[in-house]
Amino acid sequence: MAKPIALECRGITKTFGRVVANKNCDLEVYKGEILAILGENGSGKTTLMNMVAGIYYPDEGQIFVDGQEVTIASPKDAFAYKIGMIHQHFKLVDVFTACENIALGVEDEGRYRLADVRRKVIEITQRYGFVIDPDKRVADMSVSEKQTVEIIKVLYRGADVLILDEPTAVLTPQETDKLFAVLRRMREDNKSVIIITHKLHEVLSLSDRVAVLRRGEHIGTVNTADATEGVLTEMMMGVKVELSIERSEPKNPQERLKVEDLHSVNEEGRPILDGVSFTAYSGEILGIAGIAGSGQRELLESIAGLHQLTQGNITYQDPKTGKTENLRDKNPLQIRDLGVRLSFVPEDRLGMGLVGNMDIVDNMMLRSYQKGRGFFLHRREPRDLALNIIEDLQVVTPSAATPVRQLSGGNVQKVLVGREIAAAPTVLMAAYPVRGLDVNASYTIYNLLNRQKEKGVAVIFVGEDLDVLMELCDRILVINAGRVTGIVDGRTARKEEIGLLMTKSKEEGVGEYGEK
């Protein structure tokens, strides 16, 4: 029974500035097994594996390969120890073919001949049952094909330990099944496979053992055969944290924004939004939960007029006149000209919401620079606004003339949220507004959103921390792979329930558009 240990981590600690990513983590993986590393977003799974793959260097701790202590300081070192990692963001050259990408950086003996590379690639594909055209350009490939190329690349370099970071996040269920078949074949071939994931059903169906990480710490490793969803969820989520965000009952909720059957596709023609429908009411906070990249960003951007839809309707109901407007296929300016007061705090603060090199006053003007008559800018109002926001939200800045790039993350966000709220919105959308913020700044943002809700604004909040969503939101919409898998009541929902909805595959999710 006792299989030899292929790779072992002992007491690994890694900090980034003041943030502790991993704390004293122990982990071992045997030859010929599939180990799942389970944890929520930000629990330190990827960081830990990046240290094994040579991307980061641990602050403390040791790594053993085949019982020998090793120093892995670069991806090249990792390859030398036959460790290969398939990252979530593929590192491929678009204009190269699969073969060329695979051959990249490999210093084989003898002359470089593409024909030799191809032969070896085909050998690997046949051995593990991959389906790939070695002469296809990466640019013409689907995401799943690109992933296959990444896996072959690692195998081509002779890796015995394969680490896959959220490999199924971008795959369809069918593609996932194929990938799992390949991974099982690798296990039979006595290779060690580590799969980073937060999807419980995958863990249960694929892995031999599960290591659970929570907030950077290794909580424990269990045999999959002995585990149940309940046990794993508890290990993953931990005890519920009391956040004590004040939450009032929605007052006089009225239909404000109705979204019906939104569809959109990416450049490759794959669906991003796949029939999203919901209604946002005034005086409530609607939370949106889901695994990163499930279509949350595109959903908000399509409402804001920044993302092209292929199908669907967005209807806005004016609180004063009761008139309705269809917002589909209108750009942000046209939406504003309709008298729709829609504010949007995008995920990318300095790349979209603000201009980093401009000062606070000029950033205030982004939304309003066209106001006022004539050819010239009117800086008085934005300056007053900037000063108000600095005072009200306690933005720490040398002056209103400081470029926002120089502010800390929390202060940047205060400036952005402050500006969007100053427009007296009737709908306020915020994507990951507390990401990277410390506790105090986060609470400032929660309170701002709550105050808007009390004023009768329809607030849409995309978050990643389920505890926060459950404390803050009146309803939580769960989205997975561009589909709504459920809408639950924020007051009564259980965390496990939301977690399951987040990972629910497409087939199960159909037809569940719970309304309040």
Partner 1 sequence: MENMAKSEKKNTPLLHIVKRDQGTVTWYYKLIVRAVAILAAILVSGILITILAKANPIEVYGSMVDGVFGSSRRIWNMLQGVAMLLCVSLAVTPAFKMKFWNIGAEGQVLISGLACVATMMFLGDTMPTALLLVVMTVVSVLAGMIWALLPALFKAYWNTNETLFTLMMNYVATQLVAWFLKAFVKNGSGVLTPMPEYGLPVIGGKAYLLNVLLVAVLTIAVYVYLRYSKHGYEISVVGESENTARYIGINVKKVVVRTMLISGAICGIAGLLLVGGTNHTISTTTVGGRGFTAIMVSWLAKFNPLYMVLTSFLLIFLEMGSQQISTDFRISSSIADIVTGIILLFIIGCEFFLQYRVVVSKNRKENVK
Partner 2 sequence: MIAFLVSAIRLGMTFLLGSTGETITEKAGHLNLGIPGVMCVGAACGCYAEYMYFTAVGSNVVPVLAVLIPLIAALLGGALMGLLFSFFTVTLRVNQNVTGLAITTLGVGMSEYIISEASVIFTKGSKYFTAALPFADALGSFGKLVFGYGIFVYLALAIALTTTYVLNKTRVGLHLRAVGENPATADAAGINVPLYRYAATCVGCGVAGLGGLSFIMDYLNGNWEYCVDAIGWLAIALVIFTVWKPNWAILGSIVFGALYVASSYIPGVSFAGKELFKMLPYVVTILVLIVTSMRQKREHQPPQSLGLSYFREDR
Residues that bind partner 1 (CB under 8 A): 54-60, 71, 73-74, 77, 304-306, 331-336, 344, 346, 348, 351-358, 362, 365-367, 369-370, 375-377, 403, 405-406
H or E segment to which residue 430 belongs: strand 427-431
Crossing angle of helices 114-128 and 143-156, rounded to 10°: 100
Minimum CB separation from partner 2 for residue 248, in Å? 41
73 binds, among partner 1, partner 2, none (CB under 5 to 8 A by kind): partner 1
59 makes contact, choosing from partner 2, partner 1, none, with CB < 5 to 8 Å by partner type, with partner 1
- Of the two residues 91 and 371, which places its CB atom closer to partner 2 in the complex? 91
Q: Which does 104 bind (CB under 5 to 8 A by kind): partner 2, partner 1, none?
A: partner 2
Q: Return the closest-CA partner of residue 203 out of 43, 34, 22.
A: 34
Taking alpha carbons only, the member of 369, 338, 343 closest to residue 355 is 369
Q: Between residues 156 and 316, which has the closer beta carbon with respect to partner 2?
A: 156
Give which of partner 2, partner 1, none residue 287 binds (C-beta under 5 to 8 Å, depending on kind). Answer: none
Among residues 14 and 475, whose Cβ is nearest to partner 1?
14
> Measured from the CB atom, is 55 or 70 closer to partner 2?
55
306 binds, among partner 2, partner 1, none (CB under 5 to 8 A by kind): partner 1
Which CB atom, from 136 or from 336, has the smaller least distance to partner 1?
Answer: 336
Which of partner 2, partner 1, none does residue 380 bind to, with CB < 5 to 8 Å depending on kind?
A: none
Pick between residue 117 and residue 289 the one whose CB is nearest to partner 2.
Answer: 117
CA distances from 447 to 376, 414, 451 (A): 36, 12, 6
CA distances from 341 to 74, 257, 314, 316 (A): 50, 12, 14, 10
Select from partner 1, partner 2, none the partner in contact with residue 181, using the beta carbon and a kind-dependent cut-off of 5 to 8 Å.
none
Toward partner 1, which CB reaches closer, 317 or 343?
343
CA distance 133 to 404: 48
- The closest alpha carbon to 283, from 134, 426, 466, belongs to 426
114 binds, among partner 1, partner 2, none (CB under 5 to 8 A by kind): partner 2
Nearest approach, Cβ of residue 377 and partner 1 (Å): 6
Give just the sign of the alpha carbon dihedral 52, 33, 36, 166.
positive
The answer to whether the beta carbons of residues 22 and 48 sit under 8 Å apart is yes
Pairing status of strand 192-197 against strand 161-165: parallel
Q: Residue 220's binding partner, choosing from partner 1, partner 2, none, with beta-carbon cut-off 5 to 8 A by kind?
A: none
Count of alpha carbons within 13 angstroms of residue 207, beta-carbon side:
30
Q: From the CB of 306, what's the least distance to partner 1, in Å?
A: 6
For 480, list phi and psi in degrees, rounded to 5: -145, 125
Closest approach, Cβ 112 to partner 2, in A, equals 4
Which of partner 2, partner 1, none sits in contact with 396, Cβ below 5 to 8 A by type?
A: none
HSE-up (13 A, CA, CB side) for residue 313: 8
CB of 122 to partner 2, least distance (A): 19
Q: Least Å distance between CB 472 and partner 1?
A: 25
Nearer to partner 2, 137 or 215 (CB): 137
Tell me how far apart the alpha carbons of residues 46 and 487 are, in angstroms, rounded to a whole number. 30
CA–CA separation, 447 and 97 (whole Å): 52
CB of 362 to partner 1, least distance (A): 7
We find the least distance from the C-beta atom of residue 332 to partner 1, in angstroms, to be 4
Nearer to partner 1, 375 or 515 (CB): 375
Least Cβ distance, residue 1 to partner 1 (angstroms): 35
Sign of the torsion formed by the C-alpha atoms of 59, 65, 70 and 75: negative
- Residues in contact with partner 2 by CB under 8 A are 74-76, 79, 91-96, 100, 103-107, 112, 114, 137, 139
Q: Least distance (Å) from partner 1 to the CB of residue 86? A: 18
Comparing CA positions, the residue from 89, 92, 97 lying closest to residue 170 is 89
The secondary structure element, H or E, covering residue 383 is helix 380-392
Question: For 53-112, where are the alpha helices, taking DSSP H only?
Answer: 75-80, 98-103
- Name the residue nearer to partner 1 (CB basis): 289 or 441: 441
Distance CA 285, CA 287 (A): 6
Alpha-carbon gap, residue 80 to 383, rounded angstroms: 58
